[in-house]
Structure 1
Amino acid sequence: MNLPKVLQELLEAQSRFDSKKYASLFSEFAVVQDEGVRYKGIKEIEEWNQLTNKKYQTNYFPLYYDEISKILTVEVSGTFQGSPVIMRQQYVFDQEGKIIEWKNV
């Protein structure tokens, strides 16, 4: 699978539950939408990732990436009810390759 470098790094950071590295892959003004809540900026994204790591111990296994729509299909597993699930996550990147938006679609 041909993933953008930033998504490879994101998956690696998540597999190590490294919220600081995870958040560093987002732009300063990035937005993450998860479970009906919007998290804005690196600090909020890092805090959200720390919370979800502690609460769910989430792991991602990439299944498919559509380069045109920028949608990554992943198997998400963890301590949440119904695990594992298949999710589709859409990303928007800035000119420097950082993530400026992440949402489940």
Structure 2
Amino acid sequence: MKDRFAAVVHLKIKPEKLDRIKALLSDVGDAMSAEKEFVHAWVHHSKDDPTSLVIYEAWSCDIDYFMENLFSKPYRKTYEAEIASALREERNIEVLDYVQSYPGRRES
């Protein structure tokens, strides 16, 4: 499907900035989950390094639409303003095209 994409974001956070970035990610996640194009997102951290975060976001639009219409939403501004100074290494973002999904079982 051309009108769907996912992004995997790798963040290596400075330990003293971790709580702040997690709080900002929570705020962004709460707000972006209300977008009609939002499918789902997860934030994980490495078992070996809790300051190494991985974000997986899926959207029902293409990346161009996302960048033009959703990336600049006000709820992302504080996070985007603070993330660069909170990183130990440059943020790595990989954009993925949809191939197929395997939904899990739903609880009854």
TM-score by structure 2 length?
0.30
Q: Of Structure 1 and Structure 2, which has the larger fraction of its residues in strand?
A: 1
Higher Rg of the two aligned structures: 2
Q: Which has the higher contact order (CA 8 A, sep 6+)?
A: 2
Higher helix share: 2
